[in-house]
Structure 1
Amino acid sequence: MTADSSPAGRLDRALASLRGLAVGDALGSQFFVPANYPLLQDRTLPPGPWTWTDDTEMAASVVATLAAHHRIDQDELARSFAERHDADRDYGPAVDRLLRQIREGGDWRELSSALFKGQGSWGNGAAMRIAPLGAWYADDPEQATHQAEISAYPTHQHREAVVGAMAVAAAAALAAAPGGPPGPGALLDGVIGLVPRSAVGAGLRRARDMLDYGDTTTVAAVLGCGRRTTAHDTVPFALWSAARALGDYAGGFWATAQVGGDMDTTCAIVGGVVAAGTAGAPPAEWLEHTEALPGWLTPADAI
């Protein structure tokens, strides 16, 4: 069996991943509210509706760009990021400023490369939005990593941020494989084999070694859980959690969120990867509580 490589089949997979990403993002963000802290420990859902953040807004631009061009067009992606940018969606300050400047006519190549004294951003933003691209390329994980690399540059040009995006896309592509996703170890082995040497890659190798650990708090302490909002502090733990939760969206969410950190982003990554698989959809009740995807996202018209 091979993955449906038609534009419609690719889009169906990308949208399934995007819905999983949006639920993880929106529900994860609810637990930054102090009143909801006790609910997290009890695995109790907070009242809805749950609104999503920049993770989902940017991921929707990724899907719209793929639907329109069947690949990543960097100029189109940067334009969509800038035009759809809603500052109330909790963007990081550097990207918030970058997107405003692009919208005012700035060149994303110059602006993105100039961030952080010319080093580029190594934040987790390129990784948080990219799982639907991996689902789109379920038939070609290598192409998923290539397109994810291209997709990172309009906002994140540091090597670690780029590799973080490549890793998440690879994981989602493998999770969406026809016939079902591989086992946890095989999934992480596949991702490790598709990304270059880097701090993210080193973290993924540690994550592979820790798959049998039952204490998620210990794993998060070793791998990081996004508290520093860097790619290498976020992606290894998120993919460790996703690998252990393939086919169990709710279990993956709670295990990821309960360690704290950058919960909307780690849960968006886990949700997008797990939902890329045919058995990984979020519970229907969770989808009902989550804010609808952006009204401007009508990619089916572009196929």
Structure 2
Amino acid sequence: MTADHDPASRLARALASLRGLSVGDALGAQLSTPGMVGWLRRRELPPGPWRWTDDTEMACALVAVLAARRRVDQDELAALMAERRDPERDYGSTVTQVLDAVRAGDDWRTASARLFKGRGSWGNGAAARVAPLGAWYADDPAQAVHQAEISAYVTHQHREAVVGAMAVAAAAALAGDPDGPKTGAELLDGITALIPRSAVGQGVRRARDMLDYADSSTVAAVLGSGRRTSAQDTVPYALWAVARSLGDWEETVRITARAGGDVDTTCAIAGGVAAARAGGAPPADWEADTEPLPGWVPGSGS
């Protein structure tokens, strides 16, 4: 591992991933309107400005906590996400329940655990926000996976949702390491080696087997594209798109979006992971069309 573990270098990597996540999220939000994915099929873009969603807002909170604590502090993360929650950012109903309860004074452990009759949410939200954490720990992928697990529990306590976050963090950590995987197959193999056996893990292995498929719709029919908003229905496809076009941020997001589904979430995941890789920044005009990051994010320059 040659990625720098200096806090300033870690923050720079996390911010690069966060910007990629926000552009993917904001573009995906525009494309979520029926018929809008056709813009990408015509190699065109929808008119700006593009406004990002809850995925970016929660990722901003995660980066802010890492910058302040150099690790995930669950209590601080829950409090900051609750404080910064903007109801107009398209938050899902389950995470809204948790964050509203935290804002009202409840413990996040109780609020998150009582979802779905005590089983916890298996949604894709914890995975959608976590790529910058993986980029932060590009010098230590095992720690990225551990910290991602800790971060997920604040809002998602079902094991598949937790493993989904672990898989995305592993992907971003591996992508952010200059000595990391050189091919898509190596990336997906590396993720599989870092996460527990699970439906998400099975999906990542299937994604690896489908890297020679060119039709994203066919792949999405097998892996899912977030239509069920579960981690296992979302994460494998987004990571397939990253691996399929490793090193090309724009093509990664175009491939991700073409299959439809939960487009802002899949594009947030793919955009965040792809931007963790050196040289993986979004096109300048795409970033210019995207709403800036909030000024309360350390180092954002907004």
Tell me the TM-score normalized by structure 2: 0.97
1:68–1:299 CA contact under 8 A, matched in 2: no
Q: CA RMSD in A?
A: 1.4
Aligned residue number for residue 55 of structure 1: 55
Q: SS of the residue aligned with 1:43?
A: coil
| Residue 217 (str. 1) matches residue 208 (str. 2) | no
Question: CA shift at 1:120, angstroms?
Answer: 0.1
CA distance, structure 1, for counterparts of residue 96 and residue 277 of structure 2: 32
For 1:217-296, list aligned pairs within 5 A: 217-296=217-296
CA distance, structure 2, for counterparts of residue 221 and residue 91 of structure 1: 26
Q: Output one character per residue of 1:214-244: Cα deviation in whole Å (capped at 9) or x when no partner.
A: 1211110000000000000000011011112
CA distance, structure 2, for counterparts of residue 96 and residue 258 of structure 1: 28
Question: CA shift at 1:179, angstroms?
Answer: 4.1
Q: SS of the residue aligned with 1:118?
A: coil
Question: CA shift at 1:42, angstroms?
Answer: 1.2
Aligned residue number for residue 71 of structure 1: 71
Aligned residue number for residue 95 of structure 1: 95
CA distance, structure 2, for counterparts of residue 179 and residue 207 of structure 1: 23
Aligned residue number for residue 15 of structure 1: 15
Quick one: structure 1 residues 201 and 35, their matched pair in 2 at CA, closer, same or farther if it must change by over 3 Å? closer
For 1:164-179, list aligned pairs within 5 A: 164-179=164-179
Q: SS of the residue aligned with 1:178?
A: coil
The residue type paired with residue 210 of structure 1 is M
1:174–1:181 CA contact under 8 A, matched in 2: yes
Quick one: structure 1 residues 88 and 300, their matched pair in 2 at CA, closer, same or farther if it must change by over 3 Å? closer
Aligned residue number for residue 195 of structure 1: 195
Q: Output one character per residue of 1:238-287: Cα deviation in whole Å (capped at 9) or x when no partner.
A: 10111122211111111110110000000000000000001211000001
CA distance, structure 2, for counterparts of residue 203 and residue 44 of structure 1: 31
Question: CA shift at 1:300, angstroms?
Answer: 7.9
CA distance, structure 2, for counterparts of residue 43 and residue 122 of structure 1: 34
Aligned residue number for residue 152 of structure 1: 152
CA distance, structure 2, for counterparts of residue 252 and residue 300 of structure 1: 24
Quick one: structure 1 residues 181 and 189, their matched pair in 2 at CA, closer, same or farther if it must change by over 3 Å? closer
Quick one: structure 1 residues 179 and 164, their matched pair in 2 at CA, closer, same or farther if it must change by over 3 Å? same
Aligned residue number for residue 126 of structure 2: 126
Question: CA shift at 1:37, angstroms?
Answer: 4.3
Q: Output one character per residue of 1:77-127: Cα deviation in whole Å (capped at 9) or x when no partner.
A: 001110010111011111112111100101100010110110000000000
CA distance, structure 2, for counterparts of residue 221 and residue 43 of structure 1: 23
CA distance, structure 2, for counterparts of residue 64 and residue 34 of structure 1: 34
Could you tell me the percent identity over the aligned residues? 67
1:180–1:278 CA contact under 8 A, matched in 2: no
- Farther-moved stretch of structure 1 (206-215 vs 20-29): 206-215
The unaligned stretches of length 5 or more in structure 1 are none
The residue type paired with residue 143 of structure 2 is Q
1:246–1:280 CA contact under 8 A, matched in 2: no
For 1:10-49, list aligned pairs within 5 A: 10-34=10-34, 36-49=36-49
Tell me the TM-score normalized by structure 1: 0.97
CA distance, structure 1, for counterparts of residue 96 and residue 238 of structure 2: 24
